[in-house]
Structure 1
């Protein structure tokens, strides 16, 4: 841009006209972003052809001998609809729907689903299964079949006749629940819990208060193993905190039709857990007996429930469930008060923080963190206890950044940002560094992205896109390995090689963290619509970069890389109409002389101006001539209508 900047007088401002400027230099991030779109389009077709049948099933029909496994077949496709919504092809959305239908039929034949829904399992895993469904609903809300499924699935919990929810005690009746109602115990595989399970040893005892069983090696005794299994089955009753993720199923339905009973259920169920937390000094307990008493099956202890504070993951599961539920409550109620439920779940472990290398921590999940930290795994960093048992806090490991990031992203509260900064300061490496790795959630680069938003990592877009392209290339190499037999691979193989990359695109294009993997909604700060093709996402050749997320403002840059075609894109504030754009300030040239005279050595340097306009309909249409860009500051405010899936024919009701 030219260093000269003028501001137009108010009387000269048009009602709605966004300034653009010609590109004397094509930004590298824009080229890489569009290349990433192209690379993913190539790669998902390889996955589709190599690992899936024509009807959408994955090639190998797995054998199920427990309640576990439903999530593993849905997870390889979880972010395909998100890629479409960002600007991916119509074909990937059609393929994603075909895979949902095919996998659902496959799982039904395997005896794992009834009426297209999971028979019953914990909500740590159900949440992983359902983010695929939520993404499909958000990507194409006009698909009547998925809208009907959203309503039917939610009623499994909001309608007491299905048995999952006890309206008198306001509890979900069992840790394992689903289309068959509350299921007894934990299933047949753990009738005895023996020591010969090396993959489970790192998590320790599932119950830490049984007489005569004080260590893992005590489970080598067959009678102890039998007693442990019996107690695990007996205590797997009543409500557990991880069930809070079920509220997303209800919110997803509510976003279609605004059903008041569903809204009351979401708010009421979460408020029940908020009251229990208030009675426990603000920290959410993890178990409620079938009679409604906290600790009723655990000798009065507020900890010890299935997928709770004590076993197996603690903060990983409780933190995820409380952040998901708090945001769901805020979406439906319009109040952010419930965010305190999640804040307490993060602050309690942080108050006991220590320092040390993850490789020496003994942390139960150290393996994944060592890969994530790479060469920095042997350097000291912040460690927080993830679990609480009979002897207090234990199992120290690195704190997750996605949970506090989502709190700040949703609230834009300075206290939430301060917590996030504390965690960034505790990393064993420079937060601005983009470390090359990828897990199944396709997340983990929050530190560098936040540093970019705070103005402390200006190279993040380029480095992150370079990394993402490398991720796609490695996944393609794994898929095309001649030694891979798709009919004999491990059940987790497909999710490990899913080549669709959305984390970095979500950061840069949507201004949002990667989805909360155990059951969050696909929220965005901005979304887009191709005005010429009349569909969601960025038009061809257009790249977007959200550069700042403020309290009431969002900065974004748009670049048209085409040298011949003008592109028109509509910019919309947030998914689900949580916010609307009320004003736009743009920077560019008014009447430029580009491209200038052919005999000139350089492009003309027209004076830059800024223009501010009020926005009447809540969105902004930007017309980008060939090789032009726009820099926008968008003023956003809460919407005046209730949150809803965009695309429905009927208008949502105005907020009261």
Structure 2
């Protein structure tokens, strides 16, 4: 049966004086198209692998490093999805294959998947794969791998115990549960970078300050054994990031068993609340909270006590809840995501910025000018002594939750944070962490109508960062024929010149993906109907200035001398129904589906106003019906 589509919307305003943001946006696309090539020429070999002559898996841990290799390219498919060149997708695919072969040779993978590590890191490393799947959803190789990887976590796979609904160990993967934290007979946090976080299990007899254990091998061995027994088995909340792996398989193939497992596993964590005010971070091998921690609901690996607290716990809760809500349509899952945010906010209070001692890089530019002026700080961690480690609430978490839900209560949570902050939420800082996020506050203020100059300032900031990273590549003192040693592999992430946060916010009305394993959650997407591929057509710029479901506003500008057509899609996975769409001052037309076409003659501009119903359709990774573009 042939499905009829409404006629494509037509741009009719001639561009005589292009808006500054449109030119800056196209310049940013062009700059990055040059920059990623410079990165690839300097750091990769012909088959796509990274130049690296050292070895992984030789230290006390023996399991770390896989994610760092993939992270160097994590947002390259995103650049393509937004309108980057065809070449950047081909390069991302080549580097993913080359790095996979490279890591397999080092014994870090089994059949193309991580042998076994925690999901705080696995989630980071898989962002490249998820991006490729979204960019090429019909590719047979990616679909087969997505299913095979997901099945590692379904009943019958090596990692999941369906009777107790637990992922059996904090370290898990293609080789099944990887008990403890090391393949050696002792585990102790060897990296000096962990010293600011202290150590977990401060209540056991073997506990001691970090430096004391580091200086006493016998005691460190006893402490490491206790960590293995108490934290190296059973489930931990960051394993919720594995739901993205299984949800990704569902979005590509539509198999009900994948959606069923996502809801089953997230349900297990919802039930572990069991009347508690705060979601626990652990469950033992029999599914009992505190089973290996003398009844404590805190103390699991990458949980409330160590090393970071809220950032991994909150991310995992949002990722798991959003995946379950996306696949089932049941919005009650989002209560699991709200719980850790509200738990720490109940303990928040104005404090001096000098009290921030961990995860300082993200907040240093914002707090620098405050001196001793108090601002709202929330405790990130909890142990036997109570709440501690106060910091600024990681704004990407409540913003990601609100963006997914668009509930007024989730927006009010952000407004409370804003009102209690002493620093300027409209400021655009050029800092970038490896997550390539950090500008949620000024973007939120722009959407609220309180930061009108944001698009131009954000685009200039992104261009500056891209240029700075190119300069760092060109001045890198490391021998290009040898590459870094195992301690320098993070330099690739720090020099990745692809910067997509600005483009995601401004063109799609969406925040950066949650870095520890989130799937893309875009408000709208674009497809170039002429080239039949994702992304904006060449010479076209887009600006989303409102993302209210009942009134989403998009400005499209064709700066080029040729006409083009595009398809606008509701949601990353066509999950939002477009109820009506209007062009400029024309009355809105009914749509009744996830797609609407737009025709842009040469040098024209149009303002689209969309009314949509969020999460109204079954989500899927697929290409749109091209005929909607007219």
Q: State yes or no: 1:363 paired with 2:361.
A: no
How many Å separate the matches in 2 of 1:171 and 1:321?
A: 15
Are 1:142 and 1:648, in contact at CA under 8 Å, matched by a contact in 2? Answer: no
Q: Tell me the secondary structure at the aligned position of residue 577 of structure 1.
A: coil
Q: Which residue of 2 aligns with 1:331?
A: 326
Offset at residue 574 of structure 1 (A):
1.0
Change (3 A) 1:341 1:522: same
Q: Determine which of 280, 286, 296 is the counterpart of 1:285.
A: 280
After TM superposition, which residue ranges in structure 1, 4 or more long, deviate above 6 angstroms? none
CA–CA separation in structure 1 for the residues paired with 2:366 and 2:144: 40
Q: Of 76, 81, 88, which residue of structure 2 is paired with 1:85?
A: 81
- For the 8 Å contact 2:11–2:604, the answer to whether it is kept is no
Match of 2:628 in 1: none
Deviation at 1:215, TM superposition (A): 3.6
Per-residue deviation at 1:395?
0.6
Pair 1:270 & 2:243 matched:
no
Counterpart in the other structure of 2:142: 146
Supply the distance in 2 between the matched residues of 1:356 and 1:75 (Cα, whole angstroms): 35
1:44 aligns with 2:36: yes
**Deviation readout 1:461-500 (Å, 9 max, x if unpaired):** 0000010000110010001116342334311111110011
Alpha-carbon separation, structure 2, partners of 1:641 and 1:449 = 28
Once the two structures are superposed, residues 583-629 of structure 1 have per-residue CA deviations (whole angstroms, 9 ceiling, x without a partner) of: 11221xxxxxxxxxxxxxxxxxxxxx433212255422222222211
RMSD of equivalent CA atoms = 1.9
Paired with 2:361 and 2:479, the residues of 1 have a C-alpha distance of 27
Q: Which residue number corresponds to residue 249 of structure 2?
A: 253
Choose which of 595, 598, 604 in structure 2 pairs with 1:622: 598
Give the Å deviation of 1:129: 0.5
- Greater displacement, 404-413 / 623-632: 623-632
Equivalent residues in 2 for 1:152-171, closer than 5 Å:
152-160=148-156, 162-171=157-166
- 1:63 and 2:59 matched: no
Match of 1:99 among 89, 95, 100: 95
Distance 1:20 1:212, change over 3 A: same
Pair 1:644 & 2:620 matched: yes
Which moved further from structure 2: 65-74 or 270-279? Answer: 270-279
Q: CA deviation at 1:225?
A: 1.8
Q: How does 1:523-602 map to 2 (within 5 A)?
A: 523-562=521-560, 564-587=561-584
Q: Note the alpha carbon deviations across 1:395-428, whole angstroms, 9 max, x for none.
A: 1111101110011101111110010111222334
Contact 1:207 1:228 in 2 (8 A): no
Q: Displacement of 1:226 after TM fit?
A: 2.1
TM-score, length basis structure 2: 0.93
Matches of 2:292 and 2:72, distance apart in 1: 37
1:297 aligns to 2:322 (yes or no): no
Residue pair 1:17, 1:613 contacting (<8 A) in 2 also: no
Partner of residue 652, structure 1: none
SS at match of 1:385: strand
Quick check: 347-356 or 479-488, which moved more?
A: 479-488
Q: Give 1:492-511 correspondences, 5 Å limit.
A: 492-511=490-509
Deviations 1:53-74 (A, max 9, x none): 0100001144112100000000
- 1:474 matched to 2:468? The reply is yes
Shift of 1:362: 4.6
Shift of 1:227: 1.9
* Stretches of structure 1 lacking an aligned partner (at least 5 in a row): 1-13, 588-608, 650-656
Query: In the TM superposition, what is the alpha-carbon distance from 1:371 to its structure 2 partner?
Result: 5.0
Q: What TM-score do you get using the length of structure 1 for normalisation?
A: 0.90
Whether the 8 Å contact between 1:432 and 1:451 is mirrored in structure 2 is yes
Q: Is the 8 A contact 2:187 2:228 kept in 1?
A: no
Query: Any residues of structure 2 matched to 1:230-241 within 5 Å, and which?
Result: 230-235=225-230, 236-241=232-237
- 1:416 paired to 2:403: no
Counterpart pick for 2:383 among 384, 389, 392: 389
**CA offset at residue 222 of structure 1?**
3.9
- Alignment size in residue pairs: 610
C-alpha spacing 1:647/1:215, structure 2 compared with 1 (3 Å):
same
Change (3 A) 1:406 1:362: closer
Using the alignment, how far apart are the partners of 2:45 and 2:299 within structure 1? 43
**Is the deviation greater in 235-244 or in 419-428?**
419-428
Q: 1:391 to 1:456 in 2, by over 3 A?
A: same
The structure number with the bigger radius of gyration is 1
User: Aligned residue for 2:3?
Assistant: none
Could you tell me whether the CA contact under 8 Å between 1:287 and 1:302 is conserved in 2?
A: yes
Structure-2 change in CA distance of 1:626 and 1:367 (3 Å): closer
- CA gap of 1:482–1:513, structure 2 versus 1, over 3 A, is closer
